[in-house]
Structure 1
């Protein structure tokens, strides 16, 4: 049952150092380091001891957390170092590898973004499912194939910026495959189509995206307005209010009025609610009469999930609908009522700071300064184009503003204790996969549902436990230095004793492709040549996975650990791979990798 954020109680689990026997590494020295490093990552979540690299911009001071300046400092272009390029990719992409680092250095940050945005999309998830015969009637009532098509895109699609933004949007405009009930089956296709929709529109206009998700079959099933009917005076049945509430609360304006820098807009020192129960009730009337478009077919094939919802006038509420201080007049069509309603919502001043801040948190830092939020919100409100085309909600302009902002690019900010973010478990896994060009030779991508925190990642694409995502954007881990500093660490809401150990064990199996039951194969050829040089091996992994942010002490500890593993003299000797596996696992478990600065 979906409940309002105002009444939901957040719970958290305090994490303790896991038992050293919880991991399966072959070397006890390495096992101990992994356990203590993983636990330490929790304690250092947003202010670890990460190594500070050289600045990417010159003469740009650190941006204070309480700064109210909305002007960008002058940036003097300089050559982009390997570490700076890798760090950029960890914010803008699904991971970094040598080829992508070279592209960033050749094109520059803005040029790389332009190239990525112009890149054609790869095969859709829907088409991949169909190519594998998953539209056969035997799969109608299963989720078979969905995890595979989702992982394939995240790991291998060359349009890595598009995949990063698509994933970020899937955590804001939440749908979960587990909640697609009473839809005639074909959950895998419904979920795949929803991700395809986000991908196709993530570089478009946010207002258009709201329109398309509002008529998407997966969203209508997840938030229960498919088949929603007008008020019945005989039975007293009222229109379902789920989508009306979440559309405002989570997808557009949030619970309280905001200033353009994301701070609370108060009256007499008190926050003002942006909407109330009457607004939800009024807007819910608009979302009546919408159901599957079964024109020319039925639910015996998944094709209806690829079509937008259709309006059925006999079920639509034709009376006036009032919300947010405005009224949709009586007597207009359901399609027109929807369009006008979304225009009203999109015009609300909260939309820009509410969505801008969340996107910054997904890509760059959990605690952006008010000035950073204000700069991005200003671009959201107007993209700066003289002709005004898509002036508000231009996602291309917003994404560029986030990634090119001084607060994102200035490496001096990595010295600030509040700057940075905890990488989600899924993104840690993808950082490894992208760095070493992981692939599925069979094209089956047998990774599966990785939601189990005790044995896997505790997170899996489009499998959020609720409409509130895997974690809340304002989550503060209780009884921590983060809470004492009045900071948030959203991703820490997924952390528990089990998840710390589960992540390490899962990654150990993934790294060694002969274990774990998946069919991923990574390319370690570049590391094989470094296996007999511990310092060089750790340096390369530090670059590709952590943008050289591992502290000197962490680097030395990992070097000592892998140097303790004896190796043979030829590449066929598995001991060389054991060094590589150990080095990878130790970096992936280190605090400075888990906390991206």
Structure 2
């Protein structure tokens, strides 16, 4: 059912004035940062309290980007020909940004976009320099994180990494001799995953029904017609060779002889014959972007990534409305969408209020964000600037997730995933991140974090100097960790059990105090109230 105007009016946006700034608690600021950043810290909590929610967003929007992943790889000499056929350096450059860049909001949105418009490093084949190709793609997403979604679609559609991953790089027109058709991968996923989805939606993200039945957004004829548009694109190798990775940073170019110049029909429109490759791509993307499904389809996924897996239809409608029109008549303004999404009443309602204790509100914190929450909270750094964390995909020994290492174009988990035979399924709710949660990953995560907390990962180590003075007082120690990592949401009964466990540990020396800190951090990082972000 479409959302009614009265429903929109019933949920006004939060007013963030001077009075609101003065009353932001430590826990509320930490909760906001769980949604808006790669992880809270005492310094960031204080900044939110000083600036207010909207002021903090403005400050983050204004921050310049730090050194790109690509430039870091070059600075480390990874563009030497000896690395051409390896992935060496990629994990380091990806983790470095997630863990240490001051533009923490931009990194959070980059991560979200990388899980919507997916490229995965293991699928970047037939050119070498996979680390640079993956780095270039993340840099592209970061550069557009606060820009316009239509601009992002255009840049993705000519990016060498996407051309590699979804196999339309080198795509050629219909061959009249052999009957070979253009590759359809990108045309299909552009519609299914990056723009309109599978079912027609109302503005509030609910399915449009005709006689009680859902309606498809596209069919195979639309895929075939759109695939004709994405022909003739290939690497820009003019005056260059593959002995350096530089061609992977440049947009792909058109090879006119390979492009289909006949008419192309899809989604109720026909592009006329005679258009060149660039013109036909622009016309196709403009038409797709104009479809009413784009706003609710993308808005709902962004809400799921940042705030809650099951947003109310009214929440989706409010954000989709901003996606369609930022107030200045512009569609796709991601900065406006992010601001509206994070300041919306449904996101900012106080933790003690009904919706944050309701089973339907919140989300499972994905493993990457659990790891970065610990690292950001306690200033994890790499003394040698090497950030050798590596691929953390193994569910039994690591995190079951690692940046840009999705097993397919469908991301690590589907936005509509429902754990089978579960209370979540019985309640008709979605829990996307549970798709990578099982007995092995639960144990693997705790073991990995226990090692990370106490020993670090290679030379990536945290600084617990702020916790050391609290270590002789388990209640104070756990209260502080609970506030920063879990927004104060670990319950009193669980905290009491943790306090008892820490009290039983010896103290009296800094080494023993550090052991208490390691145990307290591991207990909170394993607590359901931390793992489930409310």
- 2:8 is aligned to 70
Q: Say whether residues 1:394 and 2:353 are aligned partners.
A: no
SS, match of residue 172 in structure 1 = coil
Structure 2 Cα separation of the partners of residues 433 and 267 of structure 1: 49
Residue aligning to 1:143: 87
**Cα distance in structure 2, aligned partners of 1:75 and 1:168:** 24
In the other structure, the counterpart of 2:442 is 500
RMSD: 1.3
Q: Are the counterparts in 2 of residues 94 and 164 from structure 1 also a CA contact under 8 Å?
A: yes
Distance across 1 between alignment mates of 2:529 and 2:13: 29
Counterpart position of 1:300: 243
| Highest RCO, 1 vs 2 (Cα 8 Å, sep ≥ 6) | 1
CA distance in 2, matches of 1:289, 1:73: 49
- In the alignment, which residue of structure 2 is the partner of 1:50? none
**Quick one: which of 181, 187, 195 aligns to 1:244?**
187
What are the equivalent positions in structure 2 for 1:405-484 lying under 5 Å apart? 405-411=344-350, 412=353, 413-484=355-426
**TM-score (structure 1 length as normaliser):** 0.86
Contact 1:67 1:371 (8 Å CA) reproduced:
no
1:193 aligns with 136
Q: Is 1:540 aligned to residue 484 of structure 2?
A: no
**Partners of 1:462 and 1:195 in 2: how far apart?**
8
Tell me if the contact between 2:14 and 2:343 (Cα under 8 Å) persists in the aligned partners: no
1:463-502 Cα offsets, whole Å, 9 max, x none, are 0001100000011111111111100110000011110110
Cα shift at 1:73: 3.0
Q: Among residues 551, 560, 569, which one is paired with 2:500 in the alignment?
A: 560
3-state SS in 2 of match to 1:557: helix
On the 8 A contact 1:476/1:490 being kept in 2, the answer is: yes
Residue 367 of structure 1 aligns to a residue whose secondary structure is coil
- Report the equivalent of 1:90: 34
CA distance in 2, matches of 1:175, 1:67: 38
CA deviation map 1:522-560 (0-9, x unaligned): 010010010000000000000110000001111111111
- The CA distance in 1 between the partners of 2:444 and 2:458, in whole Å, is 16
Query: Conserved in 1, the CA contact under 8 Å of 2:399 and 2:445?
Result: yes
**Aligned ranges 1:152-171 → 2 under 5 Å:** 152-171=96-115
Contact 1:68 1:371 in 2 (8 A): no
What displacement does 1:67 show? 11
Consecutive unaligned residues of structure 1, counting only runs of 5 or more, are 1-64
- C-alpha distance in structure 1 between counterparts of 2:266 and 2:35, whole Å: 38
Q: Distance in 1 between matches of 2:160 and 2:469?
A: 51
Inter-partner Cα distance in structure 1 for 2:493 and 2:331: 47
Judge conservation of contact 1:73–1:406 (CA < 8 Å) in 2: yes
2:207 is aligned to 264
Given that residues 66 and 370 in structure 1 are in contact (C-alpha distance below 8 angstroms), is that contact kept between their aligned partners in structure 2?
no
**For residue 26 of structure 1, what is the aligned residue in structure 2?**
none
- 1:565-590 Cα distance to aligned partner (Å, 9 max, x none): 0112x43xx11111000000000001
Once the two structures are superposed, residues 290-336 of structure 1 have per-residue CA deviations (whole angstroms, 9 ceiling, x without a partner) of: 00001221111000011000000000000000000001110011000
Query: Is the Cα contact below 8 Å between 1:224 and 1:240 reproduced in 2?
Result: yes
Closer, same or farther: CA 246–372 of 1 in aligned 2, 3 Å: same
2:519 to 576, 582, 587: 582
1:155-234, aligned counterparts within 5 Å? Answer: 155-182=99-126, 184-234=127-177
Give the match for residue 331 of structure 1: 274
* 1:286 alignment partner, SS class: coil
Residue 68 of structure 1 deviates from its aligned partner by: 7.3
The 2-side partners of 1:427 and 1:485 are apart by 26
How far apart, CA to CA, are the structure 2 residues paired with 1:70 and 1:377? 12
SS of aligned partner of 2:39: coil
**Quick one: distance in 1 between partners of 2:4 and 2:72?**
47
> 2: CA distance between counterparts of 1:529 and 1:466?
46
Separation in 2 of the partners of 1:468 and 1:74? 33
Shift of 1:75: 4.2
